[in-house]
Structure 1
Amino acid sequence: MPEFFPRAKELPAQSPLFWVTHKDRYLRQLLLKDIQEETGRALIVYFTECETSGAQIDTGDDVYFSELLTACAGKPVDLLLETNGGMTDAAEKICALLRHAAPDLRVIVPRRAKSNGTVFALCGNAILMGFESELGPIDPSINGIPVEFVLNQAAAFGPLDVAYADAARNQTRKLARDMLSTGMMSDRQPAEIEETIGKLATRDHYHSHGSVIDMREAVALGLRVIEHQPNDELWRKIWLLRTMYHYDCRQNGYAKLFESATVSTAVAMQKPQGTS
């Protein structure tokens, strides 16, 4: 009978108690290495538990990204990404890290990369997507109110709110423009890039911030997408790895996992105030 994942020919170098304590990570990294062997590229993972943790891209994430990228310096890199989005300032810093440390970058979105997670996806030369994958609009909000609403109804808001909304919109559009014009849309005319940004960063084309941009829609936007069918062998490995991250986060109370073949850092979910 052929061997199936997981498997190993030798006993682990760690003590049995240590290995068993960290077995989830070792098993994920075993599959992660298998994917690397198939693609010929370093694989790093930024996974957030999207359903219950409330975890978002924040100003502490850059330290973990830096550690992941340092470990695969000089190699072509795939980033496996799952996030609902988060802070634009933090996303801008991480985009700069990705561009500096991984000029040959692809972004893998097995399930979702929404809001500023979509901005991360724009950092790559290509986005790997399947039927389950979704990106989302990148229009920013202020206290839950889309900046487009503030700017379109300026008389209903204070001048500081309007100025802040305008700055937030410009920051997001500039970041997307920089990523696309020097990355996956570098061979396109500026007008084409502006059209894509206009659809992604306003409510004119996608009327909800939660709108689903699947792989066909992403292609229609002009993004460079590598499409994978459900029975594709590589995609089945990627989906299995993604499922392991989702399960392990829920079981162990992790809000985020940053991982590569040699690096692994977990960020615990925050307990509600008043609990012990």
Structure 2
Amino acid sequence: MAGSKIPVIGQVLNERNQSHDTRKKVIIKLERELGRTVISLFTSFKYPVILSDDDADMLEALLQTMDLSDGIALLLSSPGGSGLAAERIINICRRYSGTGDYWVIIPGKAKSAATMVCFGASKIYMGPASELGPIDPQLSFVEDGRYKRFSLYNIVESYRDLFDKATNEKGNLEPYLQQLLRYDSREIKEYEDAISLSADIAVGALKTGMMSSLSKKDIKKNIKMFLTPKVTKAHGRLIDRDKANSCKLVVENMEKDDKVWSPSYELFVRLNSFVSNQVTKCVESREQSYVSSIDAHQ
């Protein structure tokens, strides 16, 4: 067939389905503005998927085939997931990047474990309404037909509070003992370890990255807003670029008329639609696109 022009019907179908071809030219434009190789990692906010080892595997498989001597810029959108997966993604991005570091671009939301991935970057690009979020681990379960979610931090704190009150009570202990029966001390220890692990991953990523000049104690103090619900009050609460800056993170502000913002936002709109309607996850470069199907999560 002479020529390589896609017929109009093909162009329409590509746009409707948000195929890789509809994003390739935008990725190239963004790479030109940044001077780095752009990789997108999106997990759906619509379907019940999380950032997991599968995403780290897809990312590494993609990076192995590429020339990354100019470094990596990771366009990221995810509600979060596994802290251990986030730690793997940080390590993969650093190890494969020819510059030894990577940048993260957040045109929308990178929450929970996705925020941890941002902590491993040397700088974070954030738009006018971009969001990071708290990284305190959560416990989700169904009880009496109702979906419930609690911060492990709050569970541990409530247990400690009850235990202290029972220990100091000089009169009737029965009310405290009845409430303490709802807790399992072994589980409380597991929760404490999970909280400690989350903080350790975050502090470690920052100590070996954008906050390398600070002590671990000072880093933990700087990001206290992210570690507990005491400030944000809710796990889904937004932490915008002003708050991120106040925590001493290295944030590059993108404004709506910036040359970096325009292609970043277009990629976000296209990929967000893709992982909301066609697939649940997508990891891609200008040349390749790896996805996770909807059927696998239904």
Indicate the TM-score class for this superposition, using the shorter chain for normalisation: 0.7 to 0.9
2:72, 2:93 within 8 Å by CA — same for their partners in 1?
Answer: no
- Distance in 1 (CA, whole Å) between partners of 2:21 and 2:72 is 20
1:257, 1:267 within 8 Å by CA — same for their partners in 2?
Answer: yes
Deviations 1:2-49 (A, max 9, x none): xxxxxxxx726x999999876721120111011111211000000122
Bigger mean CA offset, 188-197 vs 221-230: 188-197
Identify unmatched segments of 5+ residues in structure 2.
141-148, 164-179
Aligned to 2:172: none
Say yes or no: does 1:128 pair with 2:125. Answer: yes
Which amino acid in structure 2 is aligned with residue 34 of structure 1? K
How far residue 150 of structure 1 moved from its aligned partner, in angstroms, is 2.1
Instruction: Kindly report which structure 2 residues correspond to 1:190-201, keeping only aligned pairs within 5 A, or say none.
Output: 190-201=216-227
How far residue 187 of structure 1 moved from its aligned partner, in angstroms, is 2.4
Q: Cα 1:57–1:33, aligned 2, differ >3 Å: closer, same or farther?
A: same
How far residue 174 of structure 1 moved from its aligned partner, in angstroms, is 0.7
Identify unmatched segments of 5+ residues in structure 1.
1-9
Aligned to 1:5: none
- Residue number among 146, 152, 156 corresponding to 1:151 in the alignment: 156
Say yes or no: does 1:84 pair with 2:79. Answer: yes
1:44, 1:259 within 8 Å by CA — same for their partners in 2?
Answer: yes
- Distance in 2 (CA, whole Å) between partners of 1:21 and 1:68 is 26
Aligned to 2:95: 100
Deviations 1:205-239 (A, max 9, x none): 22110111111111011100000111112201110
- Residue number among 44, 47, 54 corresponding to 1:53 in the alignment: 47
Deviations 1:159-202 (A, max 9, x none): 11111111101111110011101111112344430212322111
How far residue 241 of structure 1 moved from its aligned partner, in angstroms, is 1.1
2:122, 2:250 within 8 Å by CA — same for their partners in 1?
Answer: yes
Three-state SS of the structure 1 residue aligned to 2:231 is coil
Say yes or no: does 1:68 pair with 2:93. Answer: no
CA root-mean-square deviation: 2.3
How far residue 265 of structure 1 moved from its aligned partner, in angstroms, is 1.0
- Distance in 1 (CA, whole Å) between partners of 2:261 and 2:20 is 20
Which amino acid in structure 2 is aligned with residue 145 of structure 1? F
- Distance in 1 (CA, whole Å) between partners of 2:297 and 2:286 is 33
Percentage identity across paired residues of the two chains: 25
- Distance in 2 (CA, whole Å) between partners of 1:197 and 1:164 is 23
Three-state SS of the structure 1 residue aligned to 2:229 is coil
Three-state SS of the structure 1 residue aligned to 2:223 is helix
Say yes or no: does 1:169 pair with 2:163. Answer: no
Aligned to 1:256: 281
1:53, 1:270 within 8 Å by CA — same for their partners in 2?
Answer: no
Say yes or no: does 1:139 pair with 2:126. Answer: no
Three-state SS of the structure 2 residue aligned to 1:233 is coil
How far residue 54 of structure 1 moved from its aligned partner, in angstroms, is 1.9
Say yes or no: does 1:42 pair with 2:37. Answer: yes
1:173, 1:197 within 8 Å by CA — same for their partners in 2?
Answer: no
Bigger mean CA offset, 17-26 vs 134-143: 17-26
Three-state SS of the structure 1 residue aligned to 2:281 is strand
- Distance in 1 (CA, whole Å) between partners of 2:276 and 2:228 is 34
Which amino acid in structure 1 is aligned with residue 158 of structure 2? Q
Say yes or no: does 1:221 pair with 2:247. Answer: yes
How far residue 63 of structure 1 moved from its aligned partner, in angstroms, is 1.4
Q: Cα 1:271–1:101, aligned 2, differ >3 Å: closer, same or farther?
A: closer
Which amino acid in structure 1 is aligned with residue 195 of structure 2? R
Provide TM-score, normalisation by structure 2. 0.81
Aligned to 1:3: none
- Distance in 1 (CA, whole Å) between partners of 2:194 and 2:93 is 22
Aligned to 1:231: 257
Say yes or no: does 1:240 pair with 2:266. Answer: yes
2:44, 2:275 within 8 Å by CA — same for their partners in 1?
Answer: yes
